[in-house]
Homo-oligomer: A and B are copies of this chain.
Amino acid sequence: MEQHANILKYKHLGIYTQNENVVYMHEDCHVCISEGFEALTRIRISYATHSIVASLNIINSDMLLPNEIGLSDAAAKKLNVSENETLYVSHLEPIESLSHVRAKIYNQKLDYSAFNEIITDIVEGDYSNIHLSAFITACAGDRLDIDEISDLTKAMIASGKQMNWDKEIVVDKHCIGGLPGNRTTPLIVAIVAAYGLTMPKTSSRAITSPAGTADTMEVMTNVALSLEEIKAVVEKESGCIVWGGTAQLSPADDMLIKIEKALDIDSEGQLIASVLSKKAAAGSTHVVIDIPVGETAKVRSTEMAQKLKNHMETVGNAVGLNVKVVITDGTQPVGRGIGPTLEAIDILKVLKNEADAPKDLVERALFLAGELMELSGKVEKGKGRRTAQKALESGKAYEKFIAICKAQGRFSKPVLAPYKIEIRAENSGVLERIDNRKIAKLAKLSGAPQSKSAGILLNIHLEDIIKENQLLYTIYAESNGELNYAMEYKNNHNDIITII
């Protein structure tokens, strides 16, 4: 009953569970017995002024003594505790905000204060995966109306750090993913920063795709910068292209995305809140959002894209952002490379205006950079694309890109992978269809994004006239084993590329 009775000595076990907080106690531990703790009970663990919530696993071997307590690496790091220090354990007080989750499960409408309580508890780590999954599910399937999406977005902005650039106009762009090789972001940053706009871009690593912008940039420069380092780069060069993971913008979003990934769902409400909360927290004022539409892209119909566009712009307005959504063609991959290194090669070709730079990637980058320039109000309507083109063709964008990379710590040239297989056409005809999902899967099996130089180099586009034995694409890998993995998948799927 008294506090000193619930004290245990910390022992390092070395168990890595990603972000999951697990606490280990011996079955004969007096605290477990007196408090009635059982395996999987969620327990509060306090050390000095910090506390976390963790799920209990019971040890019945000599890994721990009855007066010792172990923690998963994530939990130990959050508490910053060292060997032999004492931890205090107690029952988890009821999580009041779960009543709002239950209300949502029962189809009730939530307001800002309800979302704020939920998101605050999620960021505190009080929600288990069961609770997180219920919240995600209860909000999916069009169960959030536009007010609720706005309130959820505001709550997510309030939950994390917010960046401030002391600039009137800070631009940003986002692409609702799903299109392999569509790596316009580094190009757009280089172009608009060369023009003089401020674009502090934080990007993600790949979650389910063969490369995220952060993975691709990491081939050429450092991307894991501290907030202070990011500030310095942007002050010097007007732009940056870094990994958003260290910035702690919208931390609830990082936790919710993991659950969405496990469920393989993308709920509209969470998607909008996720994208816009990160933009607002990053201090952006003007944001262009690109929605590629295609039957194997993330958004599959123009109708869905139009609805998403309306909701994005409305919620953007509600949270004080100037948002413009553009709906683009998402029927095939963009550029030639799919995978960090291969995409980095594409980017450098475009920036250096090389003759064999992928034209579709150039076109998309100029279009989006132009839209962003016009949205910012700094370039007249109708003159965006031309202004962007000037920045690119003059070489200023290339100079800016190299300067940004150097400001981020280094510029390294991309190097191709040592193993490759060329895939050639088995018959002649017209290239009818490229399955974005399957080509992405193939790139992942070849090792991307963990193996940075692995991936696919495409030689073809939709509607090309294909001759028998013509080179369609090359698979690159860093080991023979990975090359075999990819080939096995390729041999089992004859609809990755359809020629008729």
Q: Are A137 and B141 in contact (CB under 8 A)?
A: no
- Is A130 within 8 A of B131, CB to CB? no
B105 and A15 contacting across the interface, CB-CB below 8 Å: no
Q: Would A106 and B140 count as touching, CB distance under 8 A? A: yes
Q: How far is the CB of A405 from chain B (nearest CB, A)?
A: 28
A39 close to B (CB within 8 Å): yes
Known contacts A24-B15, A130-B262, A134-B133; A105 and B481 CB within 8 A of each other: no
Interface 1/0 per residue, A92-115 and B, CB below 8 Å: 000000100110011100000000
State A199–B408 Cα separation when bound (angstroms): 76
Separation of A102 and B58 alpha carbons in the complex (Å): 34
Residue A415 at the chain B interface, CB threshold 8 Å: no
- Tell whether A478 is near chain B: CB-to-CB under 8 Å: no
- The residues of B that contact A134 with a CB separation of less than 8 Å are 133-134, 136-137, 263, 265
Q: How many copies are assembled? A: 2
**If the complex has contacts A136-B134, A263-B130, A264-B98, are A40 and B17 also in contact, measured as CB distance less than 8 A?**
yes
The residue that A39 contacts in the complex, of B18, B58, B107, with Cβ under 8 A, is: B18
- Whether B264 pairs with A102 at a CB distance below 8 angstroms is yes
Find A133's partner among B16, B34, B129 (CB 8 Å cutoff): B129
Q: Is A1 an interface residue (CB 8 A)?
A: yes
**Nearest-neighbor residue (CB-CB) of A18 within chain B:** B39
CB of A131 within 8 A of CB of B262, answer: yes
- Determine whether the beta carbon of B1 is less than 8 Å from that of A57: no
Interface residues of A in 440-486 (CB under 8 A from B): 450, 481, 484-485
CB < 8 Å: which of B15, B20, B128, B485 contacts A262? B128
Listed stretches A59-67, A176-184, A300-308, A330-338; interface member: A59-67
A488 to B149, CA, bound (A): 42
Q: Tell me if B60 and A14 are in contact (CB < 8 A).
A: yes
Interfacial chain B residues near A20, Cβ < 8 Å: 39-40
Q: Let me know if A349 is at the binding interface, CB within 8 A.
A: no
Most chain B CB inside 10 Å of its own CB: which residue of A38, A107, A129, A142: A129
> In the complex, A315→B22 CA distance in Å?
41
Q: How far is the CA of A18 from the CA of B484 in the complex (A)?
A: 40
A343 at the interface (CB under 8 A from B): no
Question: Looking at the complex, which one of B13, B59, B105 makes contact with A141 (CB distance below 8 Å)?
Answer: B105
B98 touches A73 (CB 8 A): no
Is A284 part of the contact surface with B, judged by Cβ < 8 Å? no
Report the Cα distance A131→B260, complex, angstroms.
10
Since A1-B484, A57-B72, A105-B137 are in contact, a sample of 18 more A-B pairs with Cβ atoms closer than 8 Å, ordered by chain A residue number, is: A14-B61, A15-B59, A16-B57, A16-B58, A18-B38, A18-B40, A36-B450, A60-B73, A105-B140, A107-B141, A128-B129, A129-B129, A130-B130, A130-B132, A130-B263, A131-B133, A134-B265, A137-B137
Interface set of A (CB-CB < 8 Å, partner B) = 1, 12-18, 20, 22, 24, 27, 34, 36, 38-40, 57-61, 63, 72-73, 98, 101-102, 105-107, 128-134, 136-138, 140-142, 259, 262-265, 450, 481, 484-485
